[in-house]
A and B are shown apart, each in its own frame.
Chain A
Amino acid sequence: MSPARLRTHLHGWLLLLPAAVLLAAFTYYPAIATVLDSFFSTPRGARPSIFVGLDNYQAMVQDPIFWRALDNNILYSMSTIPLTIALALLMAVWVNGKIAGRPFLRMAFFTPTVLPMIAVANIWVFFYVPGYGLVDQVLGLFGLPAHNWLGNEHTALACLIVVAVWKDAGFFMIFYLAALQQIPPQLREAAALEGAGRWYFFRRVTFPLLMPTTLFVLINAVINSFRLVDHIIVMTRGGPDNATALLLFYIYQVGFKFWDTAYAATLTVVLLALLAMLALGQFLFLDRRIHYQ
């Protein structure tokens, strides 16, 4: 290897080094340590951590709260994701069109994105207060009785889903808006000449052209549904009776409320496996969009 080429290699690695060290320390190491720790017991007082094989996994499979949290998370993801994407698309189409009051609409839809989840969750708590909260006040106008929205096992998760959809729809609207602006206007003119209706045009032209954006938004929405539990800590703390415990919330609870770090690591392995599957899916299906060279 010539000295000049050797120097490029060296420079490349030196430039990468600071970021690589931090990535190794706070992403790769913890990811690997999570898997290793899941095979050991939690050290308690004088008792050090010992190798326990698959014991933690066995405990997990028999832990009804784990299954509840996983079920909740799947239900939560399957409801927030399609709702958020559908609303984001609808908002983008509106804001991109010639509708009256466009600047206001865009501002209203996007504002939740810049607010801290923790702050808005506090406001939403008030909306759901039984009796004099805003939801019950409005329903009261129609003669409906008060309801303990967050305190009821059957409605609590739905309340959180509403908050999540409200928070993210405007964020994903932005990506659809950007994609819509790149669709050549000639397409619309041509379709109009052919006499195609608006819905037909949307279904046959706009929506397929937006597919890459939909996939991008989909991946991010899935990640968000496993990553963000701030509103749960504020609004329900996983209750009532674990009805709103999502996977990451349960990890937080086990790791930092019960201080069972080995079991928390075992639960994290499940979450990492889910995310890794997603990464693989993206790698296999979405890769064509990203040019590495």
Chain B
Amino acid sequence: MKAAQSGAPLAAALETFGAWFLAILWILPLAYALWAAIHPSAYSARFVLDAPLTLDNFARAWTAAPFARYFLNTFLLVTMILGAQLVLCTLAAYAFARFTFAGREIAFLLVLLQLMIMPDVLIVENYQSMSALGLVDTIPAIGLPYMASAFGIFLLRQTFKTVPRELDEAARVEGAGPLQVLLKVYVPLAKPIYIAYGLVSVSYHWNNFLWPLIITNSVNTRPLTVGLQIFASSDQGIDWSVITAATLMTSAPLLIAFLLFQRQFVQSFMRAGIR
């Protein structure tokens, strides 16, 4: 190692340069969006240091489309999905981890199948189901296909399996029923996994686009992603400043949360990925 370090300072410098170059390339779209959003449109493609600053683009974007309503819709959607996922996946994971019942292995394999065949590709039939249920253009219709998440069940099952049986049995000896054991023993011990799963789920559904685009058709149900797309593709002319301001606005909550809690985000994505 020593030889490599002192013998090849040029190689090390080149590597640092490469890493920084790539990082700057990676941050460039965001940096550009920020530049265009805080300067008047005349400067959206002219990069001069004395360009005047303005927040006007944000104000114009905010009033040009019902973004407040879109924010509310996305907030409701994400909360509803996460709430349902936490309950459903906890119960199912508990069943798979600690109960022996007929057909358990088959049922578990069927659950895992959803990791491959995700609701994202079943849009045609799911639209027809929602239509038959009279749910088209409602917020629950956006969330329903995602609520029983195979990923969540799998993740929690793996976690519940690491809980020592003794804790479980001790609680049962004290007269706790299965649900009380779940709430008192398993759920508290799995807290980091819940946080990890929550972050992954919220960012996935905050960003989800195709299914919400298909199933919604009014301002009162559209989430931010769909609202942004309609805003950007309608006749805004090519006012990049306003579009980038709207773009930043819709990504801001996640982006700010990420910048503030970087470590937790990265660790959550790691935890959720390594199974």
What residues of A have a CB within 8 angstroms of the CB of B62 in the complex?
none
Question: Is A215's CB within 8 Å of the partner chain B?
Answer: no
Q: Which residues of A contact B30 (CB under 8 A)?
A: 111, 115, 123
Cβ–Cβ < 8 Å partners of A238 in chain B: none
Given contacts A234-B229, A255-B124, A268-B121, contact A115 B266 (CB under 8 A): no
Q: Given A30-B126, A116-B207, A265-B125, is A15 in contact with B99 using a C-beta cutoff of 8 Å?
A: yes
How far does the alpha carbon of A197 sit from the alpha carbon of B8 in the complex, in Å?
12
From B209, B240, B243, give the contact of A117 (CB < 8 A). Answer: B209
Count of A interface residues, CB-CB < 8 Å: 99
- A282–chain B nearest beta-carbon distance, Å: 8
Tell whether B108 is near chain A: CB-to-CB under 8 Å.
yes
Q: Chain A interface secondary structure, helix, strand, loop or mixed?
A: helix
A255 — which chain B residues lie within 8 A by C-beta? 123-124, 127
- Across-interface contacts of A25 in B (CB, < 8 A): 129, 144
B1, B122, B255: the one contacting A27 at CB < 8 Å is B122
Chain A residues closer than 8 Å to B111, beta-carbon distance: 19, 23
A13 touches B95 (CB 8 A): yes
**Chain A contacts for B20, CB-based, 8 A:** 101, 105
- Residue B165 lies at the interface, judged by CB distance under 8 Å to chain A: no
What are the residues of chain A within 8 A of B63 when measuring CB–CB?
Answer: none
Cα A195 to Cα B153 in complex, Å, equals: 47
B23–A30 contact, CB under 8 A?
A: no
Report A150-184 CB contacts with B as 1/0, cut-off 8 Å: 00000000000000001001110011011100000
10 tightest Cβ-Cβ pairs between the two chains A and B: A12-B101, A12-B99, A30-B125, A15-B95, A22-B148, A108-B23, A116-B207, A19-B92, A26-B145, A279-B116
A115-B255, A252-B214, A271-B121 given; name 20 further pairs at CB < 8 Å. A9-B101, A11-B178, A15-B91, A15-B99, A27-B119, A34-B125, A101-B20, A107-B259, A108-B26, A111-B258, A114-B203, A115-B207, A116-B228, A119-B251, A120-B29, A122-B247, A123-B33, A126-B240, A198-B4, A226-B121
